[in-house]
Amino acid sequence: MSFLDVPFILLIFYSGHLIVNRVVKGYDAGSDRPMLLRLLYYHLFFSLVYGWYVITFGGDAVGYWRNPIRGGDWLSLHQTGTNFIRFLTFPFSKVLGLSYWTGTLLFSLFGFSGFIFIYLTFRKFTRVNPMLFGFRLFPLILFLPNMHFWSAGIGKDSVIFFALTLFIFSMTNPTRNFLGIVVSFYLAYFIRPHMALLMLVGMAFSMLVSNKGVSFFWRILFLGGSVYVFVLIAPAVFEFIGLDEETIEGIGDISTRRSTNVVWHSVGSAIDIRSYTVPLKIFTFLFRPLFVDANNFFGLIVSVENLFYVLLGLYVLRFRNLMEILRMPMHLKAGLFVLASTSFFMSSSLGNLGIIIRQKNMVMFMFLMITVYLISKAQEVKLTRRPMMPSRAHAKTEAA
């Protein structure tokens, strides 16, 4: 550790408290301050767990921090993919000489800020705190361990989680949060370019099918900008993921090869998805591993969380209210598109449960937002339709 580690760690804790205080003051959320502070320290705890896990079992985080440059200079790392994480870590690891553990806590602020965006979005659009089997879903959904684990350390996962949560939050009011949309797209493009492409299409899709939230002028401006940026970055994105825009119809064959490679070269957590139907592949991506797949303690924890997702999905299916889906706010429609398209494409190319757990973490909060919103709306309607019980005084008067 360098002499700067201790003040930086204190600064990280101070920054977490500062974020909570700004949310409390800016959104009149004083009653939620204790819960948000618990969320902060809960996330910082998972940051330490993640740091220990990588050191013990291996991972990219140590390499990102201790060896950020492989030839060239710092600015040469400003590229899409892995080098962008090295670009972010270089000033702190090489210039300031901060330790790996300080870097882990520093990157955890990306994940914590993401949970703050989820909290603010729920708070703005959920009138009734929905219940499932007698338990209130909010703030329970903010404390799911797998989401915290993968968004709490050095690497792509924490940054892309921040970018996507910022994107969904910004879509609640695109004109006011235009800078947030730009920042989220910038980060997503340099971390995982294909996600930036899906965000662009999701934004355009949500504006086309929504009739509220944005004026006609801003709608045309956003749609035109989306088309322009899509045309601008599509060739680079397809090149990044190993496709050519003229032969994109070959994506099925590439996905098959990738899944085969993952299945036969992984250890312990491989599943052969090549013979699965498309719905079963998507189910595997969203809801597995379940208990039958778990082979260790970590797998059991993830299975419990996945079972929770399954129960949420089944509970929503009870209502069968397609019209409510069509009436969802713009940010949820954008999230639905990104969630559905990510699930479809990635379920066709991943056959390792470990990789699935990690990759799906960046979009499962969208599943939570959509299902909890639909449950909340259904229970809100149920409450408004419930007949009012006469008061005792009124009942006595009637009896007299």
Question: What are 65-97's pLDDT values in tens digits?
Answer: 887 665 567 888 888 888 899 999 999 998 899
Work out whether the CA dihedral 364, 369, 370, 375 comes out positive or negative: positive
Which pLDDT score is estimated for 349? Answer: 75
Residue spans of alpha helices (H) in the chain: 5-26, 33-57, 61-66, 82-90, 100-125, 145-150, 156-170, 178-191, 193-209, 216-240, 251-265, 278-287, 297-319, 322-326, 330-347, 353-360, 364-385, 392-399
For 388: left if phi > 0, alpha if psi spans -120 to 50, otherwise beta; the answer is beta
Q: What is the pLDDT of residue 176?
A: 92
The token pair at 63 is 């390499």
pTM exceeds cut of 0.85: yes
pLDDT band at residue 163 using 50, 70 and 90 as cut-offs: very high
**Cα–Cα distance for residue pair 353/339, rounded to 1 Å:** 18
Instruction: State the helix-helix crossing angle for 33-57 and 100-125, rounded to 10 degrees.
Output: 140
Task: Check if the beta carbon of residue 99 is closer than 8 Å to that of residue 5.
Answer: yes
The residue assigned the tokens 């799911």 is 144
Q: Which pLDDT belongs to residue 226?
A: 78
Q: Based on the number of CB atoms within 10 Å of its own CB, is 357 exposed (0-12), middle (13-18) or buried (19 or more)?
A: buried
Angstrom CA distances, 394 to 1, 381, 385, 386, 398, stand at 73, 26, 21, 19, 6
Query: Residue 136's beta-bridge partner residues?
Result: 131
At residue 396, the pLDDT reads: 45
User: Could you tell me the CA-to-CA distances from 118 to 125, 139, 158, 319, 364 in Å, in that order?
Assistant: 11, 10, 14, 24, 12
Query: Taking the domains of the chain in order of start, what are their residue ranges?
Result: 5-378
Question: What is the token pair recorded at 299?
Answer: 């797998």
Whole-number Å distance between alpha carbons of 365 and 105: 22
The predicted pLDDT at position 351 comes to: 65
Cis peptide preceding 145, ω within 30 of 0 = no
pLDDT digits (tens, 9 = 90+) for 250-272: 444 444 444 444 433 443 455 66
d(CA 215, CA 175): 9
Strand pairing category for 131-132 and 135-136: antiparallel
Q: What is the dihedral of CA 283, 288, 291, 295, to 10 degrees?
A: 150
pLDDT at 272: 64
Q: What is the DSSP letter of 2?
A: -
**Which comes out higher in pLDDT, residue 393 or 317?**
317
Q: List the single range of 27-41, 95-109, 219-233, 259-273 with lowest mean pLDDT.
A: 259-273
Query: Could you read off the pLDDT of 53-67 as tens digits, one per residue?
Result: 999 988 888 888 887
Q: Is the dihedral of CA 261, 59, 95, 40 positive or negative?
A: positive
Residues 313/150, Cβ–Cβ less than 8 Å: no
| Tens of pLDDT, residues 94-141 | 889 999 999 999 999 999 999 999 999 999 888 888 888 888 999 999
| d(C-alpha 106, C-alpha 88), whole Å | 11
| Rounded distance between C-alpha atoms, residue 246 and residue 232, angstroms | 15
Q: Which region holds residue 16: left if phi is over 0, alpha if psi is between -120 and 50, else beta?
A: alpha
The mean pLDDT value for 141-152 works out to: 95
Among 155-164, 212-221, 283-292, 326-335, the minimum mean pLDDT is found in 212-221
What is the structure's pLDDT at 388? 45
For 203, other C-beta atoms within 10 Å of its C-beta total: 27
What digits encode the pLDDT tens for the residues 238-248?
666 664 444 43
pLDDT tens digits, one per residue of 324-341: 888 899 999 999 999 999
